[in-house]
A and B are shown apart, each in its own frame.
Chain A
Amino acid sequence: MASILNIAIFLPLVGAFIVSLFRNEWLTKVVSIAISGVVFALSVILLVNFNPNTHHFLYRTTVPWISSLGINYDVGLDGLGVSLFTLTALIFFTVFIWAIKVKEKPTLFYALFLILETTCLGTFSALDLFLFYLFWEGMLVPMYFIIGFWGHDRKIYAANKFFIYTFFGSLFLLLGLATMIVYGYFISGHISFEYDFHTHIAYPLWLQIILFVLFGIGFAVKVPMWPVHTWLPDAHVEAPTAGSVVLAGVLLKMGTFGFVRYSLPLFPQASKIFIPVMFVLSIIAIIYAAMMAISQTNIKKLIAYSSISHMGMVTLGTFALSVSAINGASYMMIAHGLSSAALFYAAGFIYDRFHSYEMSDLGGIAKYLPNFAILFMISGLASIGLPGFSGFVSEFLILLGTFKYFPMWAIVAGVGMVLGAAYFLYMYKNVMLESASLPESKIQKLQHTMDLELHHIIPFVLILFGAFIMGIMPYNFVNIVSQTSKLILGRF
């Protein structure tokens, strides 16, 4: 089984080489879709075979790599890791199908996404700090070019802003890693980048606080938490549809994943001290981003702000430090990955057909594109947490877990979630309904617009099916992520 994990991580990278070697458009697309399909199938095998009752990382491979610095090639998955791994594989599979009609530089487009897939999968499975950082930073360059090449009008500004913000955060993370490793060296006398090695070291409180802040800056930029969130709306609006989907569906999860995998178990006492800070920042993100979303007229920006709001819920649940809240936070990472990907696909479809994200240019679409209207509605409802979809389970668990210890915060956060329904329905009304007031010219145009095609439907169906399955049979999935939560809370 361990070899399946390694194959799944590196197959896309091999694919990127093949693709850029042959530079044949159709071969590229076939190879990319096939490879991402295989990776998705492998990830499902890993998910199905996952044993949630163990206390270890599964599918582990450890090979010495840079021995003088104590660096190993070390990969393995825990409950949260395997869930995010499967989510990543699914999102990339749908992205490759969706983008099949990309016209501009298709080979490069697919090659960059394949590299990106390897780095994302690697980030969620690395158990060596050096390897983790390698994958974590490796995602920067492909994403930079994806935004810069295929973005919209202000793509250069957005790509640079994305790069500088993320790089800024990562360097603090790097400084944190260096500090941690040096402390480990003082304690034990040898340098080691192993994750396991560091979980067995009890850091003194002052050091935990320093490290928590350094790691926290790195993760918070990626999440993104208020006040370092400003790169996200720009990056989302300017990125191509596929880029936005990966950004919202996978890359944002790296930040929250980092908090759960690194900050909580490595610095438990500091995490407790920082609960109020993280709560305040999370609540600000939830409420402020929801208010910002309501005031947007650009649908992609609206969805971007809704992402910030939802990620605020995730950080809130993470730092409530109860099993069900962390379960909920982990569940929400997956749920939000699915629903935001679906919403960005919807926004991308609208842009493909009408070449605008502005609500004033849109309206009355539902009457003419019924299939799309249905899927868009379902995506939105999944996002705002309708029972029956994964979003509901996660919100419920987070609020439940938070309410136990911090009832006031839970109530405020609950209010924030109501706002979620408000902005989505407001957007849906402006974009899809209101057909009565349409001018004649727009109706003419709408009548000649094609509804969803096959390469649009498959991604929608796959993603919404995932959200639905996770919504109606949550027990199995919660069981998997709760392995991680129990492991982490065992250290408090």
Chain B
Amino acid sequence: MKALYPDIITTVGIIFLIILELFLPSFDLIGFLGFLISFISGVLAIKYSLAGYRFSEWLLDINVFSLLLKGVIYILTSFVIFSSVSFFKSKKTYVENVYTFLLVSLGLSIMVSSKNLAVILAGLELASISMYISIGMLRDDYISKEASFKYLVLGSMATAFFGIGSAFYIGATSHLDIISVSVNHNSAFALASLFLFVAFALKVSAAPFHFWTPDAYEGAPTSTTAFISTVPKIGFYAVIFLLASYIFPVTNNFSYIVGIVGIISMFWGNLVAYAQNSAKRMLAYSSIGHAGYFLIGFSRYNPLSVSSAIFYVIVYAFATAGAFLVLSILEKNQSWNHDMNNYRALYRKSPFLATALALFLFALIGIPPFATFVGKLGIFLGLVNSNAWFFAILFVIGSVIAAGYYLKLIVYMFFKEPVVEDNMSLSLNLFDTIGISAFLIIVFFFGIFPNVLFDIILKDMFHG
């Protein structure tokens, strides 16, 4: 029963915040409380995960692995809220932003708590609908509303795919739970695998289902981008892990479909990123490329590659969220529009922000001692372990291609002279500094001591 506490705390907290906001619509107060609620839930979830609590009654199946994921989801949410309050205040958005974030993380948390397709759908929809709202939160901005609508339309398609996939699944197996089934050459089951996979490929923005991503990420308020590009990924990949363990191996050669979607996504994202002039849009394409890496990691089911992929998703989420939050701090400056030229000689204007962004970008390239490197190494080991040579080599090539565009932004920040000298003042308050530093420390720490997280994942995933 204790395993439910984090979600209960969050639920009660959200209701409390909604009521409180009617009387005291103060961003600082609501933001702080939101941070606190999310942080406490996260710490509790991780504590219970380490203590080995579990809960499997009704339709729920909460084990130590899902508690760990809940912990990461809530803690990452709390960090993002912590660092984004000042951004939202400067943009004069609604105070609702805080609890839409909490609603998304609650939805994700429900999603990872069950193997039942109906519960997963409920969590998925709670998270998705809250995301549509938070993307469109800039009320005077046409692009923000367009992004929200675009995501709404394509996100609903994902829901539809998920629904039809579930229908086929029930038809083929007469189960509503994702469990190991044995069906031979059943085309309904194959269709179910395909539709469920497509639904989540769409959600994690893998090519060729990625068309909403650049627009949604660019149109959303930058702090929201930091949130929607990272936290939901953890939940979605947890479901993909579930599919990869129970459903994909059943149909012959289905892993190739996953791998090929991964490869297309990796090359598409990494190559198109070169053509971008906006740093924000470039990072959106980078997340398409990364979706490719993760799917390649999930394409072959062996303990090392899937647990590395989950590790990689988690540390990637921290690195990407950090990068977007740096962008959001820069955007507080009114004339900032994320064009590459804006970043010229950023190093001189704000050494801290430029260095932090550069370190996050190096982390995304996958250079040691950053944690993402360990994820990459683990996926390599896993791919070679399952004789997926072809994928391994393509993975190498894709990673090299990716290095180029991250370097492009670093070059602009450090080595290029500004076109016109402007005395742009970049305000950097204490919360921003603490928030960004926390992300940096995490990305560094798990690079040097990956076993702290990696061992837990490896243990929980397969013995949870």
Which residues in A have some Cβ–Cβ distance to B below 8 Å? 65-69, 130, 133-134, 137-138, 140-141, 145, 148-149, 155-156, 159-160, 163-164, 167-168, 171-172, 174-175, 178-179, 181-182, 185, 191
Contact = CB atoms under 8 A, between A and B. Distances in A.
Contacts of A171: 396, 399-400
Contacts of A130: 377
B246 interface: no
A394 B391 CA distance: 44
Nearest to A140: B367
A195 to B, nearest CB: 17
Contacts of B455: 67-68
Given A156-B411, A160-B411, A182 B381 contact: yes
A66 B454 contact: yes
B367 A141 contact: yes
Interface of B: 362, 365, 367-369, 373, 376-378, 380-381, 383-385, 392-393, 396, 399-400, 403-404, 407, 411, 414-416, 449-451, 454-455, 458
Contact of A175 (B369, B385, B392, B414): B392
A137 B373 CA distance: 10
A310 B419 CA distance: 43
A148 B414 contact: yes
A134 B371 CA distance: 11
Contacts of B454: 66, 68-69
A179 B411 contact: no
Contacts of A163: 403, 407
Given A68-B454, A68-B455, A148-B411, A178 B381 contact: yes
13 contacts: A66-B454, A68-B451, A148-B411, A164-B403, A164-B407, A167-B367, A167-B400, A168-B400, A171-B400, A174-B396, A175-B384, A175-B392, A191-B381
A148 B345 CA distance: 13
Contacts of A175: 380, 384, 392-393, 396
Given A66-B450, A66-B454, A137-B368, A155 B415 contact: yes
A181 B455 CA distance: 18
B377 A178 contact: yes
Contact of B377 (A67, A149, A164, A174): A174
Q: Which 5 A-B pairs have the closest CB atoms?
A: A178-B380, A66-B451, A134-B368, A182-B384, A171-B396
B414 A145 contact: yes
Contact of B403 (A67, A134, A167, A191): A167
Nearest to B458: A68
A4 to B, nearest CB: 23
A160 B408 CA distance: 9
Contacts of A138: 367-369
Contacts of B385: 182, 185
**Most chain A beta carbons < 10 A, residue from B376, B399, B411:** B411
Contacts of A67: 451, 455
A138 B448 CA distance: 12
Given A175-B380, A181-B381, A137 B399 contact: no
A140 B367 CA distance: 9
Given A148-B414, A155-B415, A171-B399, A179 B384 contact: yes
**Most chain A beta carbons < 10 A, residue from B365, B368, B449:** B368
A98 to B, nearest CB: 23
Contacts of B368: 133-134, 137-138
A68 B396 CA distance: 24
**Most chain B beta carbons < 10 A, residue from A66, A67, A133, A191:** A66
A122 to B, nearest CB: 11
A181 B304 CA distance: 12
Given A159-B411, A160-B407, A167-B403, 5 more contacts: A68-B454, A69-B454, A160-B404, A175-B396, A178-B380
A223 B340 CA distance: 35
B369 A134 contact: yes
B409 to A, nearest CB: 12
A134 B380 CA distance: 16
A219 to B, nearest CB: 16
Nearest to A181: B381
A67 B396 CA distance: 26
A137 B367 contact: yes
A279 B460 CA distance: 51
A172 B381 CA distance: 13
Contacts of A65: 451
Nearest to A147: B415
A65 B369 CA distance: 14
A145 B411 CA distance: 10
A149 B414 contact: yes
A159 B411 CA distance: 9
B396 A172 contact: yes
Contacts of A164: 400, 403-404, 407
Contacts of B400: 164, 167-168, 171
B272 to A, nearest CB: 18
A173 to B, nearest CB: 10
A179 B385 CA distance: 8
Nearest to B351: A108
Contact of B380 (A66, A69, A174): A174
Contacts of A148: 411, 414-415
Contacts of A149: 414-415
A141 B377 CA distance: 19
Nearest to A148: B415
A224 to B, nearest CB: 17
Contact of A159 (B415, B450, B451): B415
A70 B414 CA distance: 38
A160 B396 CA distance: 18
Nearest to A180: B384
Contacts of B404: 160, 164
B349 to A, nearest CB: 15
A242 B223 CA distance: 42
A211 to B, nearest CB: 11
A160 B373 CA distance: 20
Contacts of A160: 404, 407, 411
A171 B369 CA distance: 15
A187 to B, nearest CB: 13
Contacts of A168: 400
Contacts of A134: 368-369
Contacts of B373: 137
Contacts of A172: 396
Contacts of B362: 141
A198 B403 CA distance: 31
Contacts of B396: 171-172, 174-175
Contacts of B407: 160, 163-164
B341 to A, nearest CB: 15
B304 to A, nearest CB: 8
Contacts of A155: 415
A175 B399 CA distance: 12
B306 to A, nearest CB: 15
A75 to B, nearest CB: 16
Contacts of A156: 411, 415-416
B249 to A, nearest CB: 20
A174 to B, nearest CB: 6
Contacts of B381: 178, 181-182, 191
A37 B419 CA distance: 43
Contacts of B399: 171
Contacts of A181: 381
Contacts of B403: 163-164, 167
A285 B411 CA distance: 32
A171 B396 CA distance: 6
A154 to B, nearest CB: 11
Nearest to B454: A68
A133 B415 CA distance: 28
